[in-house]
């Protein structure tokens, strides 16, 4: 009697296990083959130019509770800006909108072959100032805050140095690759400084730098984590919908690749990585010298301590060169992306950004 009950219980347990395996397999298939609906925060397009778009996020707080100075977010040229609005409950944009910031996002779009000659000159002196003009006319504000991340931080830094009278009040830099003095530090610097790395040959072949090559470069810096541990983490947590959802959203963002305009890539490698022109003071855009001493906006420079793509050494040294009177360097534990989009970002990075910015947003 007892034996048959045990057998039945074991059979039920095996059945349960098989069902669980089936569920896991279908979850795995869904996650790996379908995109997650990223960037869900309601927004409107208020300006477009070529592939670039300026989004305004619909405010959710009453006007009297809003910060009067709008915030413009500028992400890197490679990868999508949707990382700033990854998924509900885990979106920096949503977080800031709920806190009463008037948030705008400049999305660079996907460059085509017709954009292969676009350079930082165009992004810094054409696209960004035009987007800022539209932001100011749309919001009615004369001052604004800028948040730049990765290459977006490089663009915003140069803009802040070249157009200090445009109304820029606050500048927030996230993992900004600005100082390439240390040629031995981790990251891409060793690879792109090799004599066999022929930038002209790459661009002659592809026109723009393909997203797949950029993605390979970023992943190859931590191959085991990106190609093995990442998938093992998903496999081990297939029963946990929270982990699966987070992984799915991040994977959707990581696999949505964007090429980098050829002219901008050439400049990035030759002028910045190889010749360190920004720090040497020899960087010019359309004949105008980029002098970091001209930056007057209040500055918050955020570094991810475990960043392998933009090592801290490429950001720390720039503080002395920047002319702002109110400047602060903030070191946050985490990686290049995890610092702003991981679970710890909600507890650590975002509140610190808000704490700094709310004091300087005209309240």
Partner 1 sequence: MVAAQRRTMYTRQIERGRGAGPRLLCGQRMRKVRRFVSQPSDKGNAVNPFDPLGFWRTTQDSALDSWSKSMVELVNSQPYAEATARMLDSYLSMSIPMRKLLSQTMEQTLSQFNMPSRTEVISLAERLTNIEMRLDDMDARMDDILRLLKSVASAEASVAAPPAAQPAARPARATATRATNGATPSGGARRSRSTSASAKAR
CB of 107 to partner 1, least distance (A): 16
Kindly state the smallest distance separating residue 135's Cβ from partner 1, in Å.
12
SS3 label, residue 186: coil
What one-character-per-residue DSSP string does 312-340 give?
Answer: THHHHTTGGG---SSEEEEEESS-TTHHH
Question: Which one of the listed residues 107, 150, 271, 298 is annotated catalytic?
Answer: 150
Task: Identify the active-site residue in 56, 67, 248, 336.
Answer: 336
Tracing tokens 């400047």 back to the chain, one arrives at 327
Give every CB contact of residue 298 below 8 A, 6+ residues apart in sequence. 169, 170, 171, 324, 326, 327, 360
Kindly report the backbone phi and psi dihedral angles of residue 10, in degrees, each rounded to the nearest multiple of 5, phi listed first.
-65, -40
Q: Is 307 a catalytic residue?
A: yes
Rank residues 2 and 320 by Cβ distance to partner 1 and give the closer one. 2
Quick one: 134 or 296, whose CB is closer to partner 1?
134
Per the CB < 8 A criterion, the answer to whether 292 and 298 are in contact is: no
Helix, strand, coil proportions of the chain in percent (round to 5)? Answer: 50, 15, 35
Give residues in contact with partner 1 (CB under 8 A): 2-3, 5-6, 8-10, 12-13, 16, 47-50, 112-115, 126, 130, 133-134, 137, 186, 190-191, 193-198, 201-202, 204-205, 220-225, 228-229, 232, 308
The least CB distance from residue 125 to partner 1, in Å, is 12
Q: How far is the CB of 335 from partner 1 (least distance, A)?
A: 13
Residue 122 Cβ vs partner 1, minimum distance, rounded to whole Å: 10
Strand partners, 171: 146, 299
Give the span between the Cα atoms of 61 and 264, in whole angstroms: 39
Nearest Cα to 149, choosing from 97, 96, 73, 211?
A: 73
- CB nearer partner 1, residue 10 or residue 363: 10
The reply to whether 115 belongs to the active site is no
Positions annotated as catalytic residues are 150, 307, 336
């Amino acid at each position: 009697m007892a034996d048959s009950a045990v057998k039945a219980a074991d059979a039920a347990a095996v059945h349960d296990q098989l069902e669980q395996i089936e569920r896991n397999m279908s979850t795995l298939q869904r996650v790996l083959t379908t995109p997650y609906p990223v960037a869900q925060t309601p927004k409107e397009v208020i300006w477009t130019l070529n592939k670039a778009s300026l989004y305004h996020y619909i405010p959710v707080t009453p006007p009297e509770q809003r910060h009067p100075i709008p915030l413009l977010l500028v992400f890197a040229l490679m990868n999508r800006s949707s990382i700033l609005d990854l998924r509900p409950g885990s979106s920096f944009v949503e977080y800031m909108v709920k806190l009463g910031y008037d948030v705008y996002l400049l999305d660079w779009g996907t460059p085509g072959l017709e954009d292969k000659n676009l350079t930082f000159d165009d992004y810094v002196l054409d696209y960004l100032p035009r987007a800022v003009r539209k932001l100011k006319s749309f919001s009615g504000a004369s001052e604004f805050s800028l948040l730049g991340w990765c290459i977006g931080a490089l663009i915003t830094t140069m803009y802040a140095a070249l157009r200090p009278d445009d109304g820029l009040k606050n500048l927030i830099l996230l993992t900004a690759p600005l100082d390439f003095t240390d040629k031995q530090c981790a990251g891409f610097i060793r690879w792109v400084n090799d004599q066999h790395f022929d930038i002209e040959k790459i661009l002659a072949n592809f026109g723009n730098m393909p997203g797949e090559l950029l993605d390979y470069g970023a992943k190859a810096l931590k191959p085991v984590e990106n190609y093995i541990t990442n998938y093992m983490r998903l496999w081990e947590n297939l029963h946990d919908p929270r982990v699966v959802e987070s992984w799915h959203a991040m994977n959707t963002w990581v696999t949505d690749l964007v090429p980098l305009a050829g002219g901008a890539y050439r400049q990035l490698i030759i002028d910045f990585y190889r010749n360190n022109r920004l720090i040497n003071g020899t960087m010019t855009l359309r004949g105008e010298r980029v002098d970091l001493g001209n930056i007057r906006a209040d500055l918050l420079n955020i570094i991810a301590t475990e960043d392998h793509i933009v090592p801290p050494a490429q950001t720390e040294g720039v503080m002395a060169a920047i002319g702002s009177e109110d400047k602060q360097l903030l070191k946050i534990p985490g990686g290049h992306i995890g610092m702003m989009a991981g679970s710890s970002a909600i507890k650590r990075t975002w509140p610190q950004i808000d704490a700094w910015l709310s004091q300087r947003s005209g309240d």
